[in-house]
Amino acid sequence: MHGETEEAIENLVDETVWIKVGQLGKLINGFKEHSISECVMVGQVAPGNLFNLRPDLRAVKLLMGLKTKNAHSIFGAIAKELSSEGINLIEATPWLQPAMPGEGFTVGPTPTSAQQADIKFAHQMAVEIARLDIGQTVVVKDGAVLAVEGWEGTDDCLARGGELAGKEGGAVAVKVAKPGHDFRFDIPCLGPKTLEICAASRLAVLAFEAGRTLLLEREVVERAAEQHKITVAAT
């Protein structure tokens, strides 16, 4: 997708069809021209871009039929539209399991008892806001919710939470997948950039759901966690 995908991807694949966000008809035609019957979504469409669409006629008809227009309702409708054309959207997770740490994964300092309590509390709050389709990330400190992820995304939520934690920092962030999460459309993801933001925001802990979160460039993340003394843990 233009504006979402790096052009270097052309060097890694056999064929490339470039579309803009909202060009559903061109997407389907591209699949048909190449006899594609199964597809996966990899990468990200920035949530804000869902409100800056240049929809073609097929996408306009799809959007007009939606009662709610959040990421999951839009992508769910796209999946149904693809299915109606004999194209099955499947999860990418079977190929990504090695990059999705399981329970017990921890790097960086051992969390204190207070931080462990905050992790548990933040996880409860994050699951609830995810269930409500608000976001996936919550930042807390000493049992108080400092920031909840909305359309701005995880990075801005972490920065806002860190700012509200005061000069000493020490906040705890937890990212989850929603109950009944559809991994065809979205896989919660963390990586080196996330750790950079945590460090700049003086966060003490970054926790995520075990087996349900993609950890990019794990070795880089582990080095950054040790360097900045940030606990990174799968819960």
pLDDT 10s digits, 71-88: 778 889 999 999 999 999
Task: Examine the domain organization and report whether 47 and 159 are in the same domain.
Answer: no
Task: Examine the domain organization and report whether 84 and 107 are in the same domain.
Answer: no
The CATH number assigned to the domain holding 221 equals 3.40.140.80
d(CA 79, CA 91): 11
Higher pLDDT, 156 or 47: 156
pLDDT tens column, 126-142: 999 999 989 999 999 99
3-state secondary structure labels for all residues of 120-138 = HHHHHHHHHHHHCCCCCEE
pLDDT tens column, 143-169: 999 999 998 899 999 999 999 999 999
User: What pTM does this model have?
Assistant: 0.87
Domain boundary among 61, 90, 119: 90
pLDDT tens column, 156-203: 999 999 999 999 999 999 999 998 899 998 899 999 999 999 999 999
Where does residue 44 fall: left (phi above 0), alpha (psi -120 to 50 degrees), or beta otherwise? beta
Domain boundary among 54, 74, 90: 90
**Looking at residue 51, what is its pLDDT?**
66
* Structural domains of the chain, count: 2
- Domain assignment of residue 131, given as a range: 96-234
The CATH number assigned to the domain holding 81 equals 3.40.50.20
**Looking at residue 185, what is its pLDDT?**
87
Q: Would you say residue 52 has pLDDT above 80? A: no
Of 93, 122, 77, residue with least CA distance to 233: 122
